Structure 1
Amino acid sequence: MRITVVLFLFLLTACGGGTSGDAGADATSSEGGLTTPDYEDSPFGFHPALVAKAFYSDSGYIDAQNIGVRWNRPSKYAFWFKVQPDINDPAYTWDEYDILYGNVPEGINILANIATEPGREDCGYEITDSYLPVDEDKYTAFVKATVERYDGDGIGEEDFNGGVFPNPIKYWQVDNEPDALTKTGYAELQRITYMAIKEACPDCQVLIGGATGFPQNFANNFAVYAQQILSDLNGQYVDIFDFHWYGSADGDYRKSKAAYDLVRSQLNEYNFWNIPVWITEMGSYSGDPVDMPGILQPYQSERQQAGDYLKRFVYPLSFGVKKIFPAFGLMEGFKQNNGYFDHTGLIYDGAFSDDLGLGIKKLGYYSYKLMTEKLEGSDWDNIQVIQELGNVYIYKFLKGGESVYVAWWDYFDDTGVSKTITFNVDFTGDALITTAVPNADSGADLNENDYPDFFKTETKTVSGVQVTITLDENPVFVEAAQ
């Protein structure tokens, strides 16, 4: 019998019991010297970073640590109905969440979601057709107790592990993807939850539930979100805004700028000036998933997915998004229906079409690792746009006083098989050009012990202040040769 651990919280956390795949994996050892707060500025996340798969030898956070993931958004939310299973009994049960949060290794920050109950379940903790709790005082007490337990301040008898916690949770998100068309009261839930979190942990940051999610319907969905939720909040009770961005690998990443501009304009209209914006769910896919209603999803190669994921980080970071979390899951498998979200991960789970076997890493796995090694520690507030013209995109990152350029050509909107470009750099001598996608058709063709030798590299002479390179379908990193 094949055992499948499904990661999505709404599907695996039904009323009355059950444990999440998030809850059972042991933490791996932390990295020497650097602690979780050292990576708080990092944009590199995953939703979720945990791999919890039966018969996979590296379940846990081994892969997340290996590729440089610095933020984990667990798939299991801190649910009121779970922590307080008898709403009339003030006793709280923490075991599942002590494991869930306590096993995250040092060096990976936690963004935790908190809510009354799963959105597709009626557990008796929400008012019918509303996000509001059936008892505001009891819900507020639950929120304060939960936040206090995991804030790592060592204050209070209920603090997890006596407050000795390498990953104190300082970022909380109120539920997720609120649906203002079918349920009421989300803005009030945000206010109630925000006030309770701040009372327990004044320095905690609170995110609003993310706005959905696909290019085809984002603008229409967000119009309702803004009118029904942001207008009611009117510049209060939110520290960080979140929107989600999925789609395909044929340029949908570029549409995130229009989405961001729309979000920013509405935030400004409703007095949320200068609020940080995160993308806590981002994705594309490899393989040939079943089409969604009204959305065709043609076959995409591992190479397409790998290059697209790099663009989905670099491009939004260049216009101000602060953090980005690919979803759903570092390992494939979500709804278990061969759909879109069963193909977005970077490790095959051994199920459904185009799967090359449990535990096989896709090309995107190694591209993510190379990306974090090249860019982690950059000055994220000073990313320069060098070119966004003629289907060529070039960005400059500053890391430790040195420049790293990221360049690509959107070949799918152009003609030919390559494009030669010349641009200015701020170093002399030779330039090292590293292709950002491994030199293979699939990760199954690679031996991970050969990393990073399977990335193609070449050197080009810098002439004056310019370097000339030829781009193909894969993005590249350009930096001074050592």
Structure 2
Amino acid sequence: MHHIKNNRPIIGLPLLFCVVMTSFLLAKSLPVQSQPNTEINGTETNTTYLPMLLNQFDSSLGIPIFGLQMYGNTSDSSKYHSYLLESDASWVRVEISWATVEPTQETPPVYQWGNLDNNLSAARPDMGGLNVIATVNGAPAWAAAEATGPITPDNYEDFANFMGALVERYDGDGIDDAPGSPVVLYWEMYNEPDSNSDTSDPNFLPPVSWGDHGDEYAFMLEEIYPAVKAANPHAQVVFGGIAYDYFKSNGGKFVDSFLTDVLEEGGGDYFDVMNFHSYPAFYPRWTTNQGPGLLEKANALRDILASYELDKPFIVTETGWHDNNAPGPIIPGSPQIQARYVVALLTQGMAAELDVVIWWLLYDIGGSYPYDAGLVTNDDTPVEKLAFQVYQDVVAELLTAHFARTWTTAETGNSLMEVHQFNDNVLQRTLYVAWLNRVDTTATSSLRIAASSANVKNSITGNEFVVSDGNDGVIDGHVTITVGADPLFIEVEK
């Protein structure tokens, strides 16, 4: 397990990760090697280079929160697989279809697992061994009027049987496992189930979801939860990532009462992990400081669960931004803006104490979809974007860090400045991540931090420099740093 917070378990920590992290942190080293024999003053010598051991180890570090979205094949036959591994993400989210596995209703059920095995391959030890969040979607026509809508009442038992067989196949127990024995523990029940769009509007697809049927979604969770736990007690039922924005009352397609409708029907007893989506396009609803809004949205949703006396781990299975200037959003896209949002959204995810943050997505979709939101292109040989490199840097900076606190406006001196403070016991440092909102601002502001000196890195340009007490003309035990739209990593030795 992770640590225990407020008497509830945090998402589990696989043994493999413990071993890998221990090896990485305790014995990250050069390989053992020797120079050829030499003579010094007539004595033959041999120089051997031994592994370098770090002095610090933080046993409270859990699985890093950083993840990416993929669709379809996640095996090493995918042209994106190497980029998935090189990103240093610990999680990958993949959508799966019940209809694909069980297209026809038969007794006993006949499941066609081939495509699914391919889609979940990233969980195989020989394919990266990533933590996979599988989004269960797409009911067969014989079980639901709409693929993404409520299950026909007579077919809930079929769905529960499917979920039991699904979880069993990917539990890694050596019995009827998928090829390579992938272990998948996180099962997300539909994508944005709070959607309920007008079937006459072709811009909103799929045309029907669960949004106006919170009571039926709660019943669905109650039906499948025992089957999931019976197949693998360690499996986690994940609430479908709700958009919780662009509500129908404002001309959108999402039902603002969906979550409370589910909880009113007792659905809170039948999921393990709460889950939402957060996109900066909707920041005005959540924040007055023009920031990304993820942190504030997480706090608002936590308050809703707390009103039902529920305390569950929180994750985000979609957040992101595009690098092209596509029409629509109030903030245009560019490579720099996308990269800035990589830092800001992942940092806010840490500040919100989320257990997973999935960047949507690893690669551009292309076709008629107007937003190039991937970290790499979809060319025959994908090309890494600026955002990909920045993603790697964020993971490297925050991998061994614990969130400490977010600075107040009184401390930053500017209501548009965000400063998030982290403690790093492994690297023996205090780390600050600071930026000025909005993401496209050209303004700057001064930040004062108590320190004799600080190492500063611009997360977008990679430029590094040292700021010392007195650089501002006054020696007062503080360093003064100029902060703008590019997030800064500010490191102070403990």
Task: Give TM-score scaled by structure 1 length.
Answer: 0.74
How far does residue 213 in structure 1 lie from its aligned partner after superposition?
Answer: 5.0
Q: Equivalent of 1:372, from 395, 398, 406?
A: 395
C-alpha contact 1:127 1:134 (8 A) present in aligned 2? no
What is aligned with 2:189? 174
Structure 1 spans left out of the alignment, 5+ residues? 1-29, 351-356, 439-454
Q: Distance in 1 between matches of 2:323 and 2:68?
A: 17
Q: d(CA) in 2 for partners of 1:92 and 1:125?
A: 15
Task: Quote the offset at 1:307 in angstroms.
Answer: 0.7
Q: Secondary structure at the match of 1:396?
A: strand
Which of 399, 404, 409 lines up with 2:436 in the alignment? 409
The verdict on how the C-alpha distance between 1:159 and 1:31 changes in structure 2, with shifts beyond 3 A counting, is closer
Instruction: Give, as a single letter, the amino acid of the residue that structure 1 aligns with 2:81.
Output: Y
Please give the residue correspondences for 1:380-419 in structure 2 after superposition, counting only pairs within 5 Å. 382-388=403-409, 389=412, 390=414, 391-399=416-424, 400=426, 401-410=428-437, 417-419=443-445
How far apart are residue 343 of structure 1 and its match? 1.7
Q: In the alignment, what sits opposite 1:34?
A: 20
Q: Report the secondary structure of 2:339's partner residue.
A: helix
Question: Which stretch of structure 1 is more off in the superposition, 64-73 or 128-137?
Answer: 128-137
Q: Does 1:348 align with 2:377?
A: yes
Q: Is the 8 A contact 2:457 2:489 kept in 1?
A: yes
- What are the superposed Cα offsets for residues 417-455 of structure 1, whole Å, 9 maximum, x if unpaired? 422221125xx5x421110013xxxxxxxxxxxxxxxx1
**1:309-320 matches, cutoff 5 A:** 309-320=342-353
> How far 1:278 sits from its partner (Å)?
0.9
| Residues 282, 431 of structure 1: alpha-carbon distance in 2 compared, 3 angstrom cutoff | same
* Residue 67 (structure 2) pairs with residue 45 (structure 1): yes
Gaps of 5+ in 2: 1-15, 25-60, 196-209, 284-288, 470-474
Question: Alignment partner of 1:197: what SS?
Answer: helix
Greater fraction of residues in strand: 2
Q: SS at 1:404's partner residue?
A: strand
Q: What is the letter of the counterpart of residue 114 of structure 1? A: V
Match among 333, 336, 340 for residue 365 of structure 2: 333
8 Å contact kept, 1:49–1:61: no
* SS of residue in 2 equivalent to 1:235: helix
Offset at 1:253? 4.5
Partner of residue 471, structure 1? 483
Deviation at 1:37, TM superposition (A): 13
* Matched residue SS, 1:196: helix
CA pair 413-307 structure 1, distance change in 2 beyond 3 A: closer
Q: How does 1:298-317 map to 2 (within 5 A)?
A: 299-317=332-350
Q: Could you say which residue in structure 1 is the equivalent of 2:119? A: 100
Q: 1:250-296 CA deviation, whole Å, 9 max, x = no partner?
A: 87644334422331222122332x211111111222212243xxxx4
- Kindly state the Cα deviation for residue 301 of structure 1 after the two structures are TM-superposed: 1.7
Q: Which string of whole-angstrom CA distances, capped at 9 and with x for unpartnered residues, describes residues 175-205 of structure 1?
A: 2211344556211111112221111111211
How far apart, CA to CA, are the structure 2 residues paired with 1:66 and 1:217?
Answer: 40
CA distance, structure 2, for counterparts of residue 40 and residue 134 of structure 1: 42
8 A Cα contact 1:303 1:363, kept in partner: yes
State the AA in 1 paired with 2:420.
Y
TM-score normalised by structure 2 residue count? 0.72
Task: Judge which range, 32-41 or 393-402, deviates more.
Answer: 32-41
The change in CA–CA distance for 1:57 and 1:152 in structure 2 (over 3 A counts) is closer
SS at match of 1:243: strand
Q: Percent identity, please.
A: 20
**Matched residue, 1:187:** 218
Q: Which deviates the most, 457-466 or 223-232?
A: 457-466
The answer to whether the 8 A contact 1:434-1:457 is kept is: yes
User: How many aligned residue pairs are there?
Assistant: 403
1:125 aligns with 2:148: no
Q: 1:196 — aligned with what?
A: 227
Q: How many angstroms apart in 1 are the aligned matches of 2:438 and 2:224?
A: 46
With over 3 angstroms needed to count, the CA separation of the structure-2 counterparts of 1:349 and 1:313, relative to structure 1, is same
For the 8 Å contact 1:132–1:188, the answer to whether it is kept is: no
Output one character per residue of 1:94-119: Cα deviation in whole Å (capped at 9) or x when no partner.
Answer: 222222223443352111122452xx
The answer as to 2:263 corresponding to 1:237 is no
Contact 2:237 2:272 in 1 (8 A): yes
Amino acid at match of 2:465: E
Change (3 A) 1:437 1:412: closer
Aligned-pair distance for 1:394? 1.4
In 1, distance between residues paired with 2:438 and 2:84? Answer: 31
Which residue of the partner structure matches residue 226 of structure 1? 259
